[in-house]
Amino acid sequence: MSLQVEDLKIYYQTLRGDVKALDGVTFSIRDGEIMGLAGESGCGKTTLGYGLIHLTPPKKYMGGCVRLDGEELPIWDNDRMNPFRYKRVSIIPQYAMSAMNPTRKIGKMASELLSAKGVVFETILPELLRRLDLVDLSSDVLNMYPIELSGGMKQRMVMVLSTLLNPSLLVADEITSALDVSTQQAVAEMLVEFRDRDFVKSMVVVTHDISILYQIADSILVMYAGKLAEKASTGTIINSPRHPYTKLLISSLPKVGVRYAEQKLKGIPGNPPMLLNPPVGCRFRDRCPFAFKKCIEEPPFIEVEPGHFVACWKELD
Amino acid sequence: MLKIENISKIYHTGTFGGKELHAVSDVSFDIHEGEVVSLIGESGSGKSTIGRMILRLINKTSGKITVDGVDTSVISGSELKNYYRKVQGVFQDPFSSFNPIFKADRVFENVREGFFPEVNSAEWSQKIHLAVESVGLNPEQVLNKFPHQLSGGQLQRLLIARALLLDIQLLVADEIISMLDASTRIDVLNLLADLKSRGLSILFITHDLSLGYYISDKSVILYRGSIVEMGATEKIYNNPQHPYTKMLMCCVPRLDKKWEQVEIDLQGKQTEGTIGCLFYDRCPIARQERGCAGDRPPLIEIEPDHFVACSHCWENDKVGKPVEPRIQEKTQ
């Protein structure tokens, strides 16, 4: 077991009270597994991703336990997390465009980054050049400013920098969202290649684009309003989802081959609930076409089949 | 109703505007009444530039855009105002289209001040209610709110409602879906399709091919400012001919099929001012001896309503056997 998360709660502190963005989340990721994290905006995907790495106010740790390779991560203590960050856990942030320092040449920035972690730049330079070559970037980029690179190039550069010290866990937050289809495919396949080459042991890929996850992820975790809705292997989630939310989410995706004139797709009516005062019971209840009396109680996240977890009362009967 | 003939746009870049950037070169297509045309291309392919030129937000360098036979570049004053009654645009980021310090319905008030000063308040608010309802929103929920109190999908639909107030004939929809969630984007897309069936023409600018396929009648594929393939949507998607279109089709993430292991050449020396085929340096079937580096290939009709700008497809078609482009298998 590479990463185990148990009952993790992270709230946002606001003047009107705590926003329960992540409310009791339990899952685990095996070594070498790429886990996709899917859901609408505002359902806690990014909070979970960042929570594992950099928990700063207004985010507030409210309980739970995170273990990486058997060792507990002190995610509530920013200073104690420092030795873990970048070496054991790392992140590719959402906006690669703004992730790099615009006033430094990329090579200089990399060397500063490494020296802050006690690594001498020269010793790692050959490996850096080898990896740049792997993602189709020439070594000239080290002498360039970030502004000279295109969006896709920046994204690949940030990928290389984030994984340079072979972290055990990598969180990739919406890294393909701002890219064109061709670049998107290249970046997504590079993630798989990084895993295959053991640059990173396991990965959490946060995205709202399920079709990308189908291409690269081993398992998919669907979140809704700060809770887990369903977790299973990629094929199971796409082909035989059990949670109503997952079903609706997948059926609302337009695909090549579906036309409005022939088959009208439907969205999910309604909006996710406000997490300042989340409703009791199943949080999807108001939008769920199958909701019944029992849904007023909170459904447990249980294993209905080996490796297939669902939080829905319908699946318990 | 909209006719675009050989339009080009050259941006001047560099310190004293010394360098030229050909954002759009020699693009022609037309949109009929009640037709949805999708403009597909990567970033930097000039798709937004075309939309902006139609809306007259930027001037074109050469060419001609006519709407119902009227050249749009010469009109001004009240004629231009009339033009905006017919043609409106909605843009990518709904959050930056609204002024955050004013309530969201101020966009409607602006329309009234500009176009309908004679309408009285009661009549106007009824008109707003109708427009808001016609985009599938509940007026009580969305009116009198600040932009941050509404979701992206709601704001985007309010902007469409604003355009509808003007009784428009053409809507330029520039990446209006990309910022929305999967669950709301289909609602906005269905709304566009509904409007289309009521006779509105839509120019749907997108980089997402599956969205383009869902609603459009005609597709135009752009690469670095030029049309590489154009025609009826089914023909383009089911029988892509240009190597670039084929590559795009391979890259679309699908739920029913895994990506094929194809090598994508991302590097492609983006040489400025190449005279030959613009796709030459990334093309898997390009050969110098076949003349790919020589002349810019013209747009050729290979079957009814299907145009391709690739001299090879054309050559091969002449001898009667279209060949598959050589796609390099990954050697690992």
pLDDT greater than 60 at residue B24: yes
Q: What percent of the residues of chain B are helix, what percent strand, and what percent coil, each to the nearest 5?
A: 35, 25, 40
In chain B, % of residues over pLDDT 90: 16
pLDDT greater than 70 at residue B322: no
Q: Considering CB atoms only, which of B186, B207, B250 is closest to A267?
A: B186
Which residue of B lies nearest to A43 if distances are taken between CA atoms? B181
Residues of chain B contacting A, Cβ within 8 Å: 42-43, 151-152, 181-187, 189-190, 193, 207-211, 213-215, 233, 237, 247-256, 258-259, 264, 266-267
pLDDT tens figures, A147-201: 888 888 888 899 999 999 999 999 998 888 777 788 888 888 889 999 999 999 9
A12-34 mean pLDDT? 89
Residue A181 touches chain B, beta carbons under 8 Å: yes
Find out whether A114 and A126 touch, Cβ atoms under 8 Å.
no
pTM as predicted: 0.81
Please report residues of B whose CB lies closer than 8 A to that of A259. 213-215, 233
Closest-CA distance of chain A to residue B257, Å: 8
B253 to A259: CB separation less than 8 angstroms, yes or no? no
A219-247 mean pLDDT? 91
pLDDT tens figures, B26-37: 899 999 998 999
B208 to A181: CB separation less than 8 angstroms, yes or no? yes
Q: How confident is the model at residue A228 (pLDDT cuts 50, 70, 90)?
A: very high
pLDDT greater than 70 at residue A297: yes
| pLDDT score, position B330 | 39
| pLDDT score, position A29 | 92
Angstrom distance (rounded) from CA A270 to CA B102: 25
A255 to B249: CB separation less than 8 angstroms, yes or no? no
pLDDT greater than 70 at residue B266: no
Question: Cα torsion for A311, A27, A7, A162, to the nearest 10°?
Answer: -130
Residue A15 touches chain B, beta carbons under 8 Å: no
A215-227 mean pLDDT? 91
Superfamily of domain B2-233: P-loop containing nucleotide triphosphate hydrolases (3.40.50.300)
Residue A244 touches chain B, beta carbons under 8 Å: no
Helix (H) or strand (E) holding B117: none
pLDDT greater than 80 at residue A95: no
Please report residues of B whose CB lies closer than 8 A to that of A186. 264, 266
* DSSP secondary structure code for residue B233 in this structure: H
Angstrom distance (rounded) from CA B154 to CA B185: 10
Q: Considering CB atoms only, which of A40, A41, A260 is closest to B214?
A: A260
Helix A181-196 to helix B243-251 angle (10° resolution) is 50
Closest-CA distance of chain A to residue B92, Å: 12
| pLDDT score, position A278 | 85
Task: Considering only CA atoms, give the Rg of chain A.
Answer: 20
Which residue of B lies nearest to A248 if distances are taken between CA atoms? B183
pLDDT tens figures, B283-319: 777 766 666 777 777 888 888 888 888 876 655 544 4
Closest-CA distance of chain B to residue A253, Å: 7
Q: Which residue of A215, A259, A284 is the best one to mutate when testing the B interface, meaning the one whose CB has the most B CBs within 10 A?
A: A259
* E strand spans, chain B: 2-13, 19-31, 36-40, 62-67, 70-71, 87-90, 170-174, 201-206, 218-223, 226-232, 300-303, 306-308
Helix (H) or strand (E) holding B304: none
Please report residues of A whose CB lies closer than 8 A to that of B186. 252-254, 265-267
Sign (positive or negative) of CA dihedral A85, A87, A90, A96: positive
* E strand spans, chain A: 3-14, 17-29, 34-38, 59-68, 71-72, 89-92, 169-173, 202-206, 219-224, 227-233, 302-305, 308-310
pLDDT greater than 90 at residue A221: yes
Angstrom distance (rounded) from CA B235 to CA B25: 24
> Mean pLDDT score of chain B, rounded to an integer?
82
Residue A139 touches chain B, beta carbons under 8 Å: no
B252 to A256: CB separation less than 8 angstroms, yes or no? yes
B256 to A250: CB separation less than 8 angstroms, yes or no? no
Residue count (chain A): 317
B4-21 mean pLDDT? 84
Angstrom distance (rounded) from CA A159 to CA A135: 9
**Neighbouring-strand partners of residue A173:** A206
Closest-CA distance of chain B to residue A314, Å: 22
B11-24 mean pLDDT? 82
| pLDDT score, position A219 | 94
In chain A, % of residues over pLDDT 70: 99
Q: Which residue of A34, A37, A134, A181 is the best one to mutate when testing the B interface, meaning the one whose CB has the most B CBs within 10 A?
A: A181
Angstrom distance (rounded) from CA B240 to CA B36: 19
Check residues A285 and B256 and name the one with the higher pLDDT.
A285
Q: A213 to each of A169, B263, B327, how far by Cα in Å?
A: 18, 20, 24
Which residue of B lies nearest to A178 if distances are taken between CA atoms? B178
Domain map (residue ranges) of chain B:
2-233, 239-332
Angstrom distance (rounded) from CA B326 to CA A47: 44
